[in-house]
Structure 1
Amino acid sequence: MLDELLGRASLKDRIDELEAENERLRNRYEAESDRRADAATARQDAEERVNRLEDRIAQLEGDLERGTDAEPGVSVRRRDHLRGARLEAVLDRLASFRTGPEGALTAGVDEDGLPESVRDDLTDVLGDRLALVDDAAPCLCCVDDAGVLAVTLEPPIVPDRDATWSDRFALERERFLPTGRHAVALVRTDLFAVGVYEGDERVEYRGFESDVKGSHSKGGFSQARFERIRDEQIDDHLERCRDALAAYEPGGESADTPLYLVGQRGTVDALVEESALEPTATAAVDATGDPKPALKDAVRSFWTTELRVV
């Protein structure tokens, strides 16, 4: 009664209306924020899947192109991906192989295939299967002169080795397995992580993510503006990556520590081109998720050797 006499009843009703409207707008805002977050996550997942599919397509196209050079009906007898203890066991087995003087060939094979001098030596041993060695390039080839053992190995760091005939195979374990102090850095357009390792144990870590826009489906000026903003964000991200790896550039405090740079191929290449980095090796790896688990996956993928029995 008093509120009505003083004119406060209508004010209280108005306050109730505004509070209800405020609650409705808050719920709408929260729902919109959740939708945007879900959309951003979905966009990121889709972009990562596109990257994986593009890498797989490129691999299959390469296999198809190389396969045209092989003789019909010729295929590898066995193919396996080795890492860790299993890889060590296979390396031990290859290292234990003995033959007569100059009976075991170890040769680095680049993208152009076997050198002609080596090809002539192996023609009688492998015959048509020699094409499989070219198909595995770049790789390390181990063959004995009796054809008892013939394998190709694609380690993380393919050695640039001249053909060597000896009574055993020449295998440098540091090309296959993590040894000593080294660093592995993972670079994506929106993510960076670097770990310092003593053997296979990580002793230091740093990682971060950057806010980089995803894909855009609209055309015209809107798309051009979107792509320009995205390119600027990627440039800023790569600048942060360069700063994080400055110690590994020539003259830096960690310049003597081997650096392996892995991640999205285009992003890795751009980082190397735009910096003074001289990584020991680079590789394209498929590593998604947050920085720390993504780095773990990248390291596992990098330190994997493909074995082909030809």
Structure 2
Amino acid sequence: MLDELLGRAELKDRIEALQEEKRHLQRRAEAEEERRSEAARKRQEAEAEVNRLEDRIGGLEERIGRLSATDDVEVSFRGTETLRGDRRDEVLARLDSFETSAEGALTAMVTEDVPDALRDVLGERTALIRRAAPCLVCVDDAGLVAAGLAPPTPPAPFVEWGDSFRIDRSWFAPVKPTWVALVRSDRFALGVYAGDAVTPLDEIESDVRGTHSKGGFSQARFERRRDQQVDEHLGRAREALEAHLGADAGEESRAGSGADGPTPPADADVVVLGEQTVLGRFTDLADRTATVDATGDPADALRSAVRDFWAVRLSLL
């Protein structure tokens, strides 16, 4: 009552209200401080992530710059050569005899992407590998040897350090007798390739119209007739190959197939060479097919095809 008379009750109520407001403001201040701390933490994390990404971008840009600089450098092969026969065997023997310390010789089969290991060793000369690919690259860590070879039957891509180069002769030349067929739209020849010599076994030559002359058949009729002639020729060629390989041809070979001859071993390789447009008819019979440009009579064309297919391109890096 006395407080009311003196007016202190109102003052006490005011004080309590102010204290409550103070506590409320303190709680707000504390909450705001927590929010600021959380915001600062998130900002620091974001800044760290930005720095990490900037470093990564910088590294990638530097790598792109190195690659671009390598591509722009004017480099050329120290020499190129097409290897056949004894010369091929001599070069392969030299590479095969190379010996160095452990992890001193690098061998890589390159088809598309150049391995980083080769980039590190060759530097600006890496651009030469792209020109020579697909190729088997042999380099040593001292820079004494740097060569690329284009094997006719290349292995799967690989990269390998060792104390010598990894050279497999079967990548460059047959290590056992190999059946080789040449197939064109008007010629077929089959032989066995062994010891750098081709032994002809069979041949078929068909009269297939070449070009359409004025008058007579229309162009459409001429093309239909020619397609029929090519189809008949390829059928005879396939029957002859099946007969020689001991496959089930489904019927006795037609005249001219000449199925008499040596029978290949069960593991003999079969290579079919010729025009790209006709090779699809023989892929199921062949271990490997390739396009070659061989003309002339069947036997000579077969030898020419074998010579071209098993030629090895040597590029000195």
TM above 0.5, one fold? yes
Q: How does 1:127-138 map to 2 (within 5 A)?
A: 127-138=123-134
Deviations 1:25-64 (A, max 9, x none): xxxxxxxxxxxxxxxxxxxxxxxxxxxxxxxxxxxxxxxx
Match of 2:149 in 1: 153
Match of 1:296 in 2: 303
CA contact (8 A) 1:182 1:258 kept: yes
Letter in 2 for 1:271: R
Match of 1:17 in 2: none
Deviations 1:222-263 (A, max 9, x none): 111111111111111111121112154878974521011112
Match of 1:113 in 2: 113
Letter in 1 for 2:281: L
Match of 2:316 in 1: 309
- Do structure 1's residue 193 and structure 2's residue 186 form an aligned pair? no
The offset of 1:156, in angstroms, is 1.4
The offset of 1:177, in angstroms, is 2.2
Match of 2:84 in 1: 83
2: CA distance, partners of 1:124 / 1:217: 61
RMSD, aligned CA: 2.5
Change (3 A) 1:223 1:179: same
2: CA distance, partners of 1:130 / 1:84: 29
Match of 2:241 in 1: 245
Change (3 A) 1:307 1:135: same
1: CA distance, partners of 2:99 / 2:127: 25
2: CA distance, partners of 1:86 / 1:299: 16
The offset of 1:71, in angstroms, is 3.1
1: CA distance, partners of 2:301 / 2:230: 19
Match of 1:215 in 2: 211
Deviations 1:11-30 (A, max 9, x none): xxxxxxxxxxxxxxxxxxxx
2: CA distance, partners of 1:90 / 1:75: 21
The structure whose Rg is larger is: 2
The offset of 1:88, in angstroms, is 0.7
Match of 1:98 in 2: 99
Match of 1:53 in 2: none
Gaps of 5+ in 2: 1-69, 250-262
The offset of 1:146, in angstroms, is 2.6
Percent identical:
49
CA contact (8 A) 2:238 2:282 kept: no
CA contact (8 A) 1:113 1:137 kept: no
Match of 2:282 in 1: 272
1: CA distance, partners of 2:214 / 2:95: 57
Give the secondary structure class of the aligned counterpart of 1:271.
coil
Give the secondary structure class of the aligned counterpart of 2:281.
helix
1: CA distance, partners of 2:210 / 2:73: 44
Letter in 2 for 1:214: G
The offset of 1:84, in angstroms, is 0.5
Match of 2:229 in 1: 233
User: What TM-score results when the alignment is normalised by the length of structure 2?
Assistant: 0.67
Count of aligned residue pairs for this structure pair: 233
CA contact (8 A) 1:139 1:155 kept: yes
Letter in 1 for 2:72: E
2: CA distance, partners of 1:286 / 1:70: 33
CA contact (8 A) 2:150 2:314 kept: yes
1: CA distance, partners of 2:72 / 2:82: 24
Letter in 2 for 1:303: W
Give the secondary structure class of the aligned counterpart of 1:262.
strand
User: What TM-score results when the alignment is normalised by the length of structure 1?
Assistant: 0.69
Q: How does 1:40-79 map to 2 (within 5 A)?
A: 70-79=71-80
Change (3 A) 1:171 1:250: farther
2: CA distance, partners of 1:130 / 1:145: 15
2: CA distance, partners of 1:76 / 1:174: 26
Give the secondary structure class of the aligned counterpart of 2:81.
strand
Gaps of 5+ in 1: 1-68
The offset of 1:296, in angstroms, is 1.4
The offset of 1:267, in angstroms, is 2.0
Deviations 1:101-130 (A, max 9, x none): 1111111112x232xxx2x22223211211
